[in-house]
Chain A
């Protein structure tokens, strides 16, 4: 059970409580006037950027607080609204407690999160047609977008094709808590010296005077769980309401354990009463269906209505809460629901930092996700092993244990690529060391793994053991590279090693130092097939408030931890990623792509590796929850995501373990993991029939690796999710907007709905479109739209192929994915209602950066019913330095089989097809190969097999069926 008392509710988090109250006051008052207005005289528009000054009027004093505004319009069609606070910006504030903290609002989040997409639009222009009191900018593709900026009260409406899609501050909840000096209340007259004590008391006093408009009880310090936050800059929250008119569904705001389509958060039947919280935390035994925070934060949200998707990205690294409410509006009050629509309102509240929000106007899901990932970066194209199966456990206890598990997988003919070491491999939790007793020969172990192209992933956490005779901690201290406490001395906390310090990866020097630690001569016992797992990087601090660092800790450049908390995890992974690039010597040309797994993440972490959903449990609800969680990661630009297969805590039943592998075979990141107190559960231990069924699931994953790798490639160039929810694939199908227990794999029309309930033997699958779907395993034919029931006994994964696609496979089972490199391909052509089909294949060496110099194969396969021809066309960009070499290497790799599912009846009796190949620019003479046609029977589709067409996977060819 999660310990709720260890984590704050909104009411226990001062700024959240204040802003919720502020919102409630605003919404309940009939004459609410938002105190923010844009001075029209200050507005300038130049080269795609609008600037101006918003002023906030203080009710009691009439004083005006100057808030500089920037609205930028990017070439991609993305608009960005940024509001700062002039006084803090200029540093004209006083800090309490002699704090050395930086005075500005945190303005470096973009330094970490944003890597592109900020080319300013040349086409954006002010429109003369603006109504009085507004400024209107026309921008975006074909100038279809508009931003209408209302001066008083300040607000922005974003329109597409003249229709409002997103409204900022429409409800007047914008709130920037300006800097103010602390004024002691006159009543209890106390001297300066006594103030400290009094503050401590204040923090626990519940606000009693409800008449006060602003609750200042949490302005100056706050206590929680025995820890007091000194808040040297006083209150500095930012908040804004963002409305999506006519949009019933919103997605994103990962990471939470709940449904893909976010729930309302202001109470009511089946709704949450707490806002969604983003404050990266090590939540022990987290609970299902909850807006509680988890390990990572992606403050990106999409809204979906029929045929339209829009989104916002709230770039802020501080603790953030999001309230969501939905209202039904009727076009005509007398029409009783007809023409009515649901509007989603959101209220974003962050503790500190700039107000910095990006608006995406779609109109397709991929447009929004693409624009967001253009800004924050695309998924790293991982090495192939990283998308194969990973075997982990806390802990494989000796190097011999690792070797033994490695041998057992081979013995049982179960494929796997990576074995993992959790914290116990170290000597007394000192990272970069090996326990000499239990891991006397790490290199021998790694070499054994390398024999079958397998890898080792070792854990390295950010807490560094505070113990003598440990050179790493000595260097960390002497070079002053650790995070500081509020007094600007080294911060000491408690984690796995006991007393520890934390590397500050915000510091360039810290990152540089970290980079050096992974060199093979520094981290002895590692070699090229060793990769890294960064855990506990929220950071997890056992004795800290909410199991993390105090907010008044200081990072590089004296930013408070409060300012950067949610980015902290990403900085570590960033440093580790760079370290893995730097560990090979310069003269060693064969650089391989890094692989880093992280638990904590932020927008942009997708560039650096994979994430997993942390410490789940061996229980059916956790298996079930993993699917919406991973779908949510997929549509949040971070698709390389997985959940611990089998469940981390506790012992799964064999049925649960088997079902979990069947689901895990569809996790983009596929790793079995288990807690130290659990029984061993490597697939070969399950016994029959379980081991056999699990092996089938693993081999299915391996057979489909060409499709997975192509989907990863697509994600790496467009940000597209790898497993895709119904709304993403069918944005016009409103009925499917809430579906989050089934998904499509890549662009292949492969629709899976793994069983996630005990004893379940059948599965209802929702088919959104009027199309044929075939059972992957027996070619049973279903016809959409509607819900179909698929039999799902324990040995069966409900898995369908949508008509119209071509799926590349490699059917030969091997010990690891590396050993499949030269295996031939099978193409599955799935013919649907149109009779046409297409699919792509991306292929490279699966490990190096050669693909960046053209060392890859990218083909488009298409079958046209009009000509009865299957073709392979090149999709590769112009050839690069490595193109020729790679094609030469792959020249013997052929297509060994073409399977046509839903084969035309006209092929009956046909025994041959004609194959012609493109060789050095010429088309070869056609040769005949045999075709084997099978009629449909029962409910199963007709199918045909082209026997060994023998065409090269990397070159052009044609197979004529008529």
Chain B
């Protein structure tokens, strides 16, 4: 006992923190507070009021003003032979209540006030504690192993992401090269097209039918686009209506008629009328399937425009006439070709001939250019896709998955528990949900925002399934479903070490603000110690201090 030396003198006692004050030993534990630090009363409650939590007057202790009035001792020392020694708050000493939870030997009630007798229960309590502690330690050991597994799994997952990033990088490089090539191709094709001497306003040399097909295709496209847009608008209106009806029916259920608010009453009556009215035909699934079909691509609907337009261009009469180069010997052909092109370019440049390839009229682009451009666009999209994917993966890599990246292994895994009339579910790094047992809609209690560290200070239950005290990792969830007459639901999920993922406790701390206590091996042995570990150390540490 570190402080024991202060109590050794047989004749007088000196206050621990106030060495200028000493008293005859008869004043030790005489149930009167002499020392300003309470050190003369280690065994009574006489100095319990020496605390910043109590109101004070100059006459509290014998000490003069300005002397050290912080309690020198952490509490009444319970030997708890057969169990772990502890300190009991002085406020609990001789108050007539056996505080077996902390003082299993009952020694804090030595005075027997009001006839109370606290027998020594350390044998049984200690035995039970050791049993549980053993189970706890075992469980902790298992939990530690599981965490290692999780970390390994997280490592694998991380490696996957890293690998993917690398391959994505390669793929992207490839795509970028392709884009460059295609850009060149487009330029080339355009140049080629510029060189074509004769071009009609209708790019695809076709007959009247061809024109009609072109127009029909265009119109169909327009109709489909419009239909899709209207349908989208309808869907969003429908869902808005549903949301609104939901709000109103909740409103009707939950409004407080006590307030006698005429406005509210009118609104409720109007809603009841509205709800009672025939709402017209329910949207039929069949209709929607029809719409799906209609808005599908024409090809899917058995209509392939390309069969009616397209690649016969090269075969068109005019082109055949002008393709006289092919009749020339290759060497000459090259020369003529070049000359003709140069001529055409000159004519175009000098404004004598209209440039049909420059895209000044969209309808005037040749199929070849369009195709080349489409290929380019596709390739660019590919690059974009890769870039996005790469960014996502890189973000993922940079994201906080907790120490050792461990939550990577748990992401989207869900655990749940029953409490009252609901089942509560938490999905790691995703969201929390409340599901009525009787059926009905699920309620989103918040979407995962980030990992946080918070300080908790709870008693650890004997089975170790609790937060204990110290800093803990927590998952913050915000912006869940809005609460009637309240905020958007939110949940703080506080994590502590446990052998398996399990929800221990769910509390609605205040309206629509929830707190879950969840056990998971993921947080074992991080932040210095596990919950159980901290508690164990504290209990064990007592011996050293004394």
Interface residues of A (CB under 8 A from B): 3, 6, 225, 282, 284, 397-398, 400-401, 404, 407, 411, 413-414, 435, 437-438, 451-453, 494-495, 540, 542-543, 547, 676-680, 692, 695-697, 699-700, 703, 776-779, 811-815, 819-824, 889, 892, 896-897, 899, 901, 932, 934, 940, 943, 945, 947-948
Contact = CB atoms under 8 A, between A and B. Distances in A.
Given A413-B91, A437-B420, A813-B48, A934 B58 contact: yes
Interface string B388-428: 00000000000000000000000000000001110000000
B138 interface: no
B53 A945 contact: no
Q: Considering residues B30, B51, B54, which has the most beta carbons from chain A within 10 angstroms of its beta carbon?
A: B54
B54 A819 contact: no
B95 A815 contact: yes
Given A679-B510, A700-B55, 5 more contacts: A398-B420, A676-B511, A777-B57, A813-B49, A897-B59
A489 to B, nearest CB: 22
Contacts of B60: 811
B351 to A, nearest CB: 77
Interface string B234-277: 00000000000000000000001111110000000000000000
B420 A940 contact: no
Contact of B97 (A411, A451, A700, A823): A451
A700 B55 CA distance: 6
A696 B53 contact: yes
A699 B54 CA distance: 6
A453 B31 CA distance: 24
B97 A819 contact: yes
5 contacts: A398-B420, A696-B52, A696-B54, A777-B55, A815-B91
A820 B91 CA distance: 10
A699 B55 contact: yes
B113 interface: yes
Contacts of B34: 947
Contact of A778 (B58, B89, B92, B510): B58
A493 to B, nearest CB: 11
A9 to B, nearest CB: 17
Given A437-B420, A812-B46, A540 B258 contact: yes
B25 to A, nearest CB: 16
A385 to B, nearest CB: 15
Contact of B59 (A543, A696, A697, A945): A945
A677 B56 contact: no
Nearest to B511: A677
A821 B94 CA distance: 11
A945 B62 contact: yes
Nearest to A932: B62
Contacts of A697: 55
B52 to A, nearest CB: 6
Contact of B57 (A692, A699, A779): A779
A732 B478 CA distance: 63
Interface string B15-53: 000000000000000111010000000000110110111
Contacts of B58: 778-779, 934, 940, 943
A703 B62 contact: no
A682 to B, nearest CB: 11
Given A413-B51, A813-B91, A822 B114 contact: yes
A709 to B, nearest CB: 18
B290 interface: no
Contacts of A451: 97
List the 8 closest pairs (A to B, CB-CB), nearest first: A437-B420, A822-B113, A819-B95, A948-B32, A695-B53, A899-B59, A700-B55, A542-B258
B349 interface: no
A896 B260 CA distance: 59
A332 to B, nearest CB: 53
A896 B31 contact: yes
Given A819-B96, A821-B114, A943 B91 contact: no
Contacts of B114: 821-822, 889
Interface of B (DSSP majority class)? loop
Contacts of B45: 812, 823
A284 B258 contact: yes
A932 to B, nearest CB: 6
B312 interface: no
Nearest to A680: B510
Nearest to A412: B53
Interface centre among A6, A407, A542, A812 (most CB of B within 10 A): A812
B278 interface: no
B24 to A, nearest CB: 11
B486 interface: yes
Contacts of A453: 97
A547 B260 CA distance: 8
B176 to A, nearest CB: 54
B260 A6 contact: yes
B97 A813 contact: no
B155 to A, nearest CB: 38
Nearest to A901: B59
Contacts of A777: 55-57
Contacts of A940: 58
B328 interface: no
B507 interface: yes
B260 A413 contact: no
Nearest to A899: B59
Contacts of B54: 696, 699, 703, 811, 813
B48 A812 contact: yes
Contacts of A225: 260
Nearest to A681: B510
Given A284-B259, A398-B420, A680-B509, A778 B53 contact: no
Contacts of B508: 397
A901 B261 CA distance: 58
B50 to A, nearest CB: 10
A6 B89 CA distance: 54
B260 A813 contact: no
Contacts of A824: 31
B459 interface: yes
Given A413-B91, A542-B257, A821-B114, A943 B59 contact: yes
A677 B486 contact: yes
Interface in B275-297: none
B485 interface: yes
Contacts of B46: 812, 896
A413 B95 contact: no
Nearest to B469: A411
A740 to B, nearest CB: 25
A215 to B, nearest CB: 28
Nearest to B483: A677
Contacts of B91: 413, 812-815
Contacts of A543: 257, 260
Contacts of B261: 3
Given A401-B507, A815-B95, A3 B260 contact: yes
A413 B57 CA distance: 20
A680 B509 CA distance: 7
B307 interface: no
A913 to B, nearest CB: 15
Contacts of B89: 413
Given A398-B420, A776-B57, A779-B57, A821 B260 contact: no
A163 B459 CA distance: 71
B306 interface: no
Contacts of B300: none
A815 B113 contact: no
B445 to A, nearest CB: 15
